[in-house]
Amino acid sequence: MTRLFFGRRRTTADVPTIDTAQLLEVAGPEALEVHARALAVGGHLATTMVVTGYPAEVTAGWLAPLLNFPGHLDLALHIDPVPNPIAAAGLKKQRARLESGRRTGFDKGRLDDPEVEAAAADAADLAYRIARGEGKLFHVALYLTVHAADEDTLAEQAAAVRAIAGSLLMTVAPTTYRALPGWLATLPLGIDTLKIRRTFDTAALAACFPFTSPDLPINTGEDGLPAGVLYGLNAVSGAPVVWDRFAQDNYNSITLARSGAGKSYLAKLELLRLLFTGTTASVIDPEDEYVRLAETVGGHVIALGADGVRLNPFDLPPTTGGEEDLLTRRVLFLHTFLAVLLGSDLTAAEKAVLDRAILAAYARAGITTDPRTWQRTPPQLSDLAAILTEDGSQTAVDLANQLVPYTTGSHAQLFNGPSTATTQGHLVVFALRQLPDEVKAPAMLLALDAIWRQVNSRPRTGRHLVVVDEAWLLMRDGDGARFLFRMAKAARKYWTGLAVITQDADDVLASPLGRAIVSNAATQVLLRQAPQAIDAISENFHLCHGEREFLLSATRGEALLLTGDRRHKVALISVAAPGEHEVITTDPGELAAQHPADEALDADSLAGEEPFGVGDGRWEW
């Protein structure tokens, strides 16, 4: 708590004359209409109020309610330091007046006045601190200018500002017949045209700083210019929210929201804007939501599940000079992949059998621990199944039988065979919508591994973003969650950020691995939450009551952006330009309006055909 030490209101008769016409000649509005208490500035109205009374005691940042006013309010604080000799002389006179009044009252037998006693003690304490060099005096003026489109709105906004000022125990007065000087005093010109001031000491003035605000700090690049991309508008102040994930301690992010809250929309918006800055990206897209974006910006789409599109899990990463045992690392990944593929945790006996069989499959292909053999054609899943069958043990035979659907059965086209897809490009999207739900998790893991191999082999001279949408498909499996966790821990070393997006908070927060992924994300985005999940969200993200209610009542596109150090939080509304919205929206109604007909249908060609159902906004024949 800081006590405000200030003297009487200071008015000056020798105020220098300012030529208003000359001041506004260059950068002024197109027209000004001056009224008694308001101005018509161009197409809107403005009125100015002066703070004439202040509270006796305040805390740091006590002006925050005015700074966070949701309307259009300009606040100007004019500070003029007083030289110490002048301050000391003024305080001496003030103390003499107060002491004279005290003694006069005492001689006449009057009781002491508590206000006079307090003022005298404050003046004495301030005089001693100035004499010791512990403080200074300042002439301070605080002006508030409210803007609105019409008179009724202006009156409402001015009344709201007066109410906030009253709650802060401040007294405000309108600038009657001085509307133009009042407006000029709040322009960024540094000119105090009113000169209605109070005298503050150093501690009282310091209590006004720092100004607290709902806006995030602006990250700057090496050139000193603002860095980052626009996430949206501040839900409180309306200011742009610009955030740079690559300027944080790590470059990862976690986005949690219920279905339909706009999480993928916000992720695509950030991705599109990062591409404009030269960032490359890879996307795991279970629902083909990023395909139109990739096609628009010239990206590469890998549609797993389509004819002839395949990734071989036995592919070795590109060699980096033989410094690492790539074969051992690949065998360890295959253990993780096969556990996810088979849908169960492997026992110790199964892991031992698989380890021998995987190494034997590589040996048959001529690949050993010698780095010179790593360029040879890798084996395939059917080679592993054949070796397991030849093993003859019951464990090996059971594993071979479990691999039948993926070697010769219904899913052989996806997992068995040489790789046919390239992962090169500034934007690579792995589209998984054509896959059955039963194989989406292993396909996501395989795609993530292909991305990670690409990240490891690329030059570390540019930023890269890996987006994993609907991550709950992978995180519900323990081995998949462990792979994602290792990727979150190591991505920063390769100037890569991992963006995890999911609608199932339980799959993330109910497990230690999920909570570890959240703790390794310096950027955390929460959108609308379901009442059933809000308790877990509030506990793990340390939300206050207001933030909790905001997430429960948020509309589509409203989000709460948290930084990993918990120092900054901001509520925002994602906004997109019309061109951006057209590219990233997946709303069926909007897509149907954008493309009412891909091609004009000939009525004769449809003769005799009947529609049998309704798809996603389009009739199907």
Question: What pLDDT does residue 280 have?
Answer: 93
How far apart, in whole angstroms, are the C-alpha atoms of residue 176 and residue 37?
Answer: 5
Residue 85 has pLDDT above 50, yes or no: yes
Fold classified for 239-309+424-588: Rossmann fold (3.40.50)
Question: What confidence tens digit (pLDDT) does each residue in 545-573 have?
Answer: 888 899 999 998 899 998 866 567 888 89
Find out whether 280 and 286 touch, Cβ atoms under 8 Å: no
Calculate the alpha carbon distances from 126 to 3, 87, 366, 494 in Å. Answer: 12, 10, 88, 57
Joined together, the tokens standing for residue 523 give 């950027």
What number of other Cβ atoms are within 10 A of residue 67's Cβ?
15
**With 90 as the cut, is the pLDDT of residue 50 above it?**
yes
Q: What percent of the chain has pLDDT over 90?
A: 29
**Which of 214-218, 535-539, 609-613 has the lowest average pLDDT?**
609-613
DSSP states of 262-290: SHHHHHHHHHHHHHHTT-EEEEEETTS-S
Maximum average pLDDT range among 22-31, 449-458, 491-500: 491-500
DSSP SS3 for 365: coil
Which amino acid is it at 517?
Answer: I
Alpha-carbon distance of 382 to 404, in angstroms, equals: 9
What is the architecture, at CATH level 2, of domain 326-407?
Orthogonal Bundle (1.10)
Let me know: does 409 contact 415? Beta carbons within 8 Å.
no
Whether 410 shows a pLDDT value over 80: the answer reads: yes
Residue 46 confidence (pLDDT): 95
Average pLDDT over residues 32-36: 90
- Comparison of pLDDT for 429 and 617, the residue scoring more: 429
Q: What is the pLDDT of residues 540-551, one digit of tens each?
A: 888 888 888 999
Whole-Å CA distances, 543 to 530, 547, 568: 15, 6, 12
pLDDT (0 to 100) of residue 181: 92
Domain ranges of the chain: 2-206, 239-309+424-588, 326-407
Report how far residue 464's alpha carbon sits from residue 552's, in angstroms, rounded to the nearest whole number. Answer: 33
β strands within 43-185, DSSP E: 44-53, 57-58, 72-82, 137-148, 171-174
Confidence of residue 116 (pLDDT cuts 50, 70, 90): confident
Residue 164 — pLDDT band, cuts 50, 70, 90?
Answer: very high
d(CA 388, CA 342) in angstroms, rounded, equals: 15
Average pLDDT, the chain: 82
Query: Where does the pLDDT of residue 207 fall: very low under 50, low under 70, confident under 90, or very high at 90 and above?
Result: confident
What's the pLDDT at 11?
47
Task: Determine the residue type at 358.
Answer: I
pLDDT value for 618:
29
pLDDT at 97: 80
Contacts (Cβ under 8 Å, ≥6 apart) of 115: none
Give the pLDDT band of residue 22 (cuts 50, 70, 90). Answer: low
Which H or E element spans position 526? strand 523-526
Helix, strand, or coil here: 260? Answer: coil
pLDDT at 600 over 70: no
Tokens 């027209």 belong to residue: 31
Judge whether residue 27 has pLDDT over 80.
no
Q: Which residues, in sequence order, are CB contacts of 30 under 8 Å at separation 6+?
A: 42
Q: How many CB atoms lie within 10 A of CB 102?
A: 17
d(CA 198, CA 561): 39
Would you say residue 36 has pLDDT above 80?
Answer: yes
- Tell me if residue 243 falls in helix, strand or coil: strand
Count of alpha carbons within 13 Å of 249, Cβ hemisphere only? 11
| Helix axes 84-107 and 114-131, enclosed angle (nearest 10) | 150
pLDDT in tens, 421-440: 888 889 999 998 888 888 88
pLDDT classification of 224: cutoffs 50, 70, 90: low
- The reported pLDDT for the residue numbered 505 is 78
Confidence band, pLDDT 50/70/90 cuts, at residue 214: low
Least confident of 174-178, 409-413, 554-558: 409-413
Domains 239-309+424-588 and 326-407 fall in the same CATH topology:
no
pTM given for the model = 0.65
Q: Please state, in angstroms and rounded to a whole number, the distance separating the CA atoms of residues 52 and 369.
A: 82
